[in-house]
Amino acid sequence: VISLSDIFISPLEDIYFVTELLGTDLHRLLTSRPLEKQFIQYFLYQIMRGLKYVHSAGVVHRDLKPSNILVNENCDLKICDFGLARIQDPQMTGYVSTRYYRAPEIMLTWQKYDVEVDIWSAGCIFAEML
């Protein structure tokens, strides 16, 4: 999960988040070249470990996709863009996540879903990496 260094508000009341700088995102990496198996395994491990951390805090990301996973020069991944994230709640909103990474329960049961939607998205990312 990406580190937050600072938050500040501009005179025009815009909010800025200062985070660590990473070189690229997983989407750009996937579109530039095929990944070797050891990288796929390492990346999937990091994604699942990051989700375990997020979910242990009671948060559902709800928009996990390759462009929301940043990559540095050491191939370390960081989950970012928590704009659609919510604290786990029995009643969640139905219109979330990018279409291609959206779990079936979001579409079928609409407001009754949990952290499993992020696991589904991770599975979609895994398939895309293959």
> Is the separation of the CB atoms in 51 and 77 below 8 Å?
no
Nearest to 28 by CA among 68, 79, 57, 78: 68
Active site residue 25: no
The active-site residue, picked from 6, 14, 63, 81, is: 63
> Is the separation of the CB atoms in 101 and 23 below 8 Å?
no
Residue type for position 64: L
Tokens encoding 38: 């050891």
Which are the catalytic amino acids? 63
